[in-house]
Amino acid sequence: MKERLQKIIAARGVASRRAAEGMISAGRVTVDGVVAALGDSADPEIQRVEIDGVMLPEAREYVYIAMYKPRGVVTTRKDEQGRRTVLDILPPEVRHTVPAGRLDLSSEGLLILSNDGDAIYALTHPSAEVEKTYIAWCRAEDGGTIEGALAALRRPMVIEGQTLCPAKAREISPGVLLITVHEGKNRQIRNMCRQAGLHVTRLKRSAEGGISLGELRPGQWRYLTDTETQYILSLKERAGPERRT
C-alpha cells in the first residue's frame, strides 16, 4: 500500500517525520532510482526506497519507554562537548530510540523515547496539545510572593514575542509549585516563572499526557504499560497519516 515517503521513513525508525521531509526536500531520497519530491508516495513492499543510496531498513518492532532523566544529562543522541547523554544511560537494546522533546541540562524527570517516528511526531507536534506537568521548587524575588506569581502564571503570558496559554498552577507545599502547560517551548517553565517573579531552584517533569514518572528514580527507565502504549497509539491515530508540520 502506498504511503507518503516521510511517513514510511519515520515508521522505519530512520528519522522523525519532520527530519524525513528535510531529507526529501534535499534530494536525498529516491524511489526506484528516481529522486523523490516532497509529497510523493511509495509502496516499500514493492518499490526500492533509498536514502543517500542506502536501502531503508526493514520494518521493526516499535519500542516505547519512559525514563527519569537526571540533572546534568543532555537530551540528545550525541553531544559535541562530550557530555553524558540520555542514551548513555540506556542499555544497548533500547539505544536505537529517540527522545520525544527535550529537558534542559539542569532539569530532570520524565522523558519518553521511542523508535516510532510517528509517535514522536504525535507527542511533540503543537496541535496535539499534550499536557506536560512539572514540579518546580521556587523562591519569590524582588519583593514578590508565591500568591502573586501563581496569579501571573494563570494568565496568558508573552515570552519572546509569543503568547502562551495560561498555565494550571498551584502550590503543593511551601515554595513548591505544580505547573501544567501544553506548548512545550524551550525552557518554558523557567521563563514563565522568571516573568512571574520566581527563581526556579529545581525543576522536574512528572507527567506528559497519559504517562507519568511513577516510581522511577534518576537514571532508571521502564517500558510503557499497555495502557500508556494505547495512549501513544491514540495520539498517532488522532494526528492522522497525512498531518504535517
Residue 131 near residue 205 (C-beta atoms within 8 A): no
Length of the chain measured in residues: 245
Distinct helix (H) and strand (E) counts, the chain: 7, 17
CA 160 to chain centre: 21
Q: Is 104 a catalytic residue?
A: yes
DSSP 157-198: EEETTEEEPPPEEEEEETTEEEEEESS--TTHHHHHHHHTTE
Residue 104: C-alpha distances to residues 162, 174, 222 (Å): 20, 25, 21
Of the residues 104, 118, 142, 226, which is catalytic? 104
User: Residue 237 and residue 138: Cα distance in Å, rounded?
Assistant: 38
Residues carrying an active site annotation: 104
